[in-house]
Amino acid sequence: MSFSAPPSSTSPGSSSAHSGPGTLERPDIDPADAPATGLTLWAVVFAGGIGSRFWPLSTPERPKPLLALVTGRSLLEDTVGRLQPMIPPERVLIVTSRDIAPALRSAIAEIPEANILIEPRPLGTAAALAWASQEIVRRAGPSTAVCVMHVDLAIGFPGAFRDSLRRAAALATSESAVVSLGVRPARPEPQFGYVVTGDPLDPTETLARGGAHHVEAFVEKPTESEARRLISEGALWHSGVVISTAQILLDKLARYTPEIEPGLESLIAGDLPAFVDAIRSVSIERGLLERCERFVVLPCDVDWDDVGTWGSLRRARALDDEGNGAHGPAEFVDAAGNIVHAESGTVVVYGVSGLLVVSLPGLTFVTTLERAGDLKPLLDTLPGSLRINPGGAPS
């Protein structure tokens, strides 16, 4: 799946047309965005970690959320920008890690400093969700609708995405449920979560027509053969986007996530250190969605993909006729299915396919897109001087 950048985005390989450093571009507003929903939505964005899977590009000074991997803007700018005007920056909470918080603070001036929640230690997304939900309860009230997402998502149709968020927020409120945005699978991907659908909420609606369904089961990261079976049975990908109200999220976490339940009383009392000491790290998918009742999936068609590894960029970036994608100056001759990220001169790719080339000042990295999916064996083997990214610190 190729990614078609919104009209306000620059194309891969070009510079971002910002109005100034650390500012968001004015979003292109579709008339469909205008109607009010009657609900005030907040957003929680998980943006922690340097992003070692994007070595050698990611550094503490330029962590993954600040990389321009899909469009000419950073992942964080894309994420916050596509929520507007429905969810303005003052209603966006960003949960991040201490090591990259200074870089994120300066990246988007519109996000209030009080909206950047810095984890004292890696909490896991379930605990991070609890913290952010309690903040929204405190600031806006328990019935406030919340959409929760990761920063590394590619969304080709932001207007349709906002419309899906509106519909999901209305469902979450009326059904007192957790709602997942579901995506039709394009391949048996073992790194994603799968939503097994049950009965439709409205008997006259179908998945094909975008009707919401109850969830029978949630399967996180199945084997490839299990993924094929799930797809054959009509399961959807979990997009990584969850919508509910702040209080429902806290109630569900208290009931289904024993890894964090012991700390919730301290969290509600405002004692964050005690909360952190009492909880164990677990993801939303493992800790909540695999266990949750009153769980609903809403299918959406938003040209979605996860930007998890270098290899995913072949699906998320605009490609030429031979399936090559580039950020920065690159020439492809008799070459197909390659990805180039060039910040140090022009890269010429000739007579090869399926390669990743990252060219930075002082370092050039070449591998296959297949091997680029797991860089841990490489980083464990390299001497420390090479694991230190150019201009950065150990990743």
Cα gap 67→343, rounded to integer Å: 12
Render 101-119 in DSSP notation, one character per residue: HHHHHHH-TTS-GGGEEEE
pLDDT in the model for residue 275: 98
Q: Is residue 390's pLDDT more than 50?
A: no
Cα gap 229→225, rounded to integer Å: 6
Mean pLDDT of 62-74: 88
Report in angstroms the alpha-carbon separations of 235 from 50, 74, 161, 164.
Answer: 32, 31, 20, 19
CA 178 from chain centre, in angstroms, equals 18
The answer to whether 90 and 115 are in contact (CB under 8 A) is yes
pLDDT in the model for residue 99: 87
Percent of the chain with pLDDT over 70: 88
Cα gap 342→349, rounded to integer Å: 12
Mean pLDDT of 267-280: 97
DSSP summary character for residue 68: -
The answer to whether 239 and 300 are in contact (CB under 8 A) is yes
Question: Which tokens hold the place of 369?
Answer: 């897109």
Cα gap 162→166, rounded to integer Å: 6
Cα gap 192→240, rounded to integer Å: 9
Contacts of 251 (CB under 8 A, 6+ apart): none
DSSP summary character for residue 389: P
| Domain spans, the chain | 31-306, 319-387
Render 315-380 in DSSP notation, one character per residue: HHS---TTS-EEESSEEEES-BS-EEEESSS-EEEES-BSEEEEEETTEEEEEETTGGG--HHHHH
Render 3-62 in DSSP notation, one character per residue: ----TTSPPTTS----SSTT-PPPPPPPGGG-S--S--EEEEEE--S--GGGTTT--SSS
At 113, the pLDDT band (50, 70, 90 cuts) reads very high
**Tens digit of pLDDT for each residue in 320-362?**
999 999 989 999 999 999 999 999 899 999 999 999 999 999 8
**Tens digit of pLDDT for each residue in 296-321?**
999 999 999 999 888 888 887 788 99
**Tens digit of pLDDT for each residue in 124-139?**
999 999 999 999 999 9
Percent of the chain with pLDDT over 90: 67
User: Would you tell me which CATH number, out of the four given (3.90.550.10, 1.25.40.10, 1.10.230.10, 1.10.10.10), belongs to the domain 31-306?
Assistant: 3.90.550.10
Report in angstroms the alpha-carbon separations of 20 from 26, 121, 199, 280.
Answer: 12, 33, 49, 41
> Where does residue 198 rank: exposed (0-12), middle (13-18), buried (19+ CB within 10 A)?
middle
Mean pLDDT of 94-111: 88
pLDDT in the model for residue 391: 40
Mean pLDDT of 54-72: 87
CA 113 from chain centre, in angstroms, equals 21
At 13, the pLDDT band (50, 70, 90 cuts) reads very low
Question: Which tokens hold the place of 265?
Answer: 């009383």
